[in-house]
Amino acid sequence: MKIFKNILIWVFIIAYIAVAMSFVKEQRTKILCHDIRVEILDSLRNGFISVSDIEDFFHEADMNVIGAPVVTINTKDLEKKLKQYASIKNAEVFVTLNGDIRVEIDQRNPIVRVINKRRQSYYIDEECNIMPLSSKYSSHVLVANGHIVEHFELNRTQKIPCENSDNNDDENWQKNHLICDLYQLSKFIYDDDFWRVQIEQVYVNNEYEFELIPRVGSHIIYFGSIENYETKLRNLRAFYLQGLNKVGWNNYEKISLKFDNQVICTKR
């Protein structure tokens, strides 16, 4: 008898849940979308996309979200369309219980601005993606220029093929090793608080070697190739702290790091 009573209780509970869910579903079909709320999660760091840009996107004629039943709004499709913007890294779209559309945007973060040999200019972000310049916002990042020639179609390439840059047999890397090396060096500089403040420009010379232009000091750093770049910068940092801090930052014209474990200076 007790078992029968327990079964009966569970039947009533399940029936109640089914009815309640059906009621909620029916009520939800009556909820119309009446507002769009946008949040740019990293707006203090970058300004490529604004709240008004996203609101304009949702007010385009083919969106038809305002006034539509929330159950008919495909949030995944909206996220996919938003991610087509070159400056958007991630987009999350969801509908609240009262019918608002909430949009959270995370922008791509550039680490270097490239000006190639043909005077074309673009950003490279933290994940090795190409970002076009913005007419309304300029990111204050490292600038790279000089003899930079890409072996990919700039207007059709979204991600630089540098994933296998450690494998010299990779065909894409062989064709684009200069830009891949530039990305690797720029990423290291960006991730280091000291170098991000100190280095403002990377110049690629006629021999396709790197020259670094510092913000403090009137010298040029002849860096050479990307080989042993971490050791080179570690040695240079030690020289800055132990040498230039004592003799002065404007006494040298050139500082060369091209040779292993050596910092060679040329006085003015």
Domain ranges of the chain: 35-107, 110-267
The residues, any chain, with a CB within 8 Å of residue 125's CB and separated by 6 or more, are 89, 108, 109, 110, 111, 131
pLDDT at 99 over 50: yes
pLDDT at 171 over 80: no
DSSP three-state, residue 259 = coil
Class of domain 35-107: alpha beta
Strand partners, 107: 88
Task: Specify the pLDDT at position 183.
Answer: 96
Which carries the bigger pLDDT value, residue 151 or residue 123?
Answer: 123
Average pLDDT of the chain to the nearest whole number: 85
Task: Specify the pLDDT at position 90.
Answer: 96
Q: Among 67-76, 81-90, 170-179, which is the least confidently predicted range? A: 170-179
Parallel/antiparallel/unpaired status of strands 220-224 and 210-214: antiparallel
The residue count for the chain: 268
Amino acid identity for residue 180 in this structure: C
Averaged pLDDT, 221-245: 91
Task: Specify the pLDDT at position 103.
Answer: 95
Averaged pLDDT, 7-12: 60
Instruction: Indicate the pTM of the whole model.
Output: 0.82
48 within 8 A of 108, measured Cβ to Cβ? yes
Domain 110-267 architecture: 3-Layer(aba) Sandwich (3.40)
Task: Specify the pLDDT at position 68.
Answer: 83
Task: Specify the pLDDT at position 155.
Answer: 81
Residue 179's nearest CA partner among 207, 145, 156, 211 is 145
For 132, phi then psi, to 5°, come to -70, 160
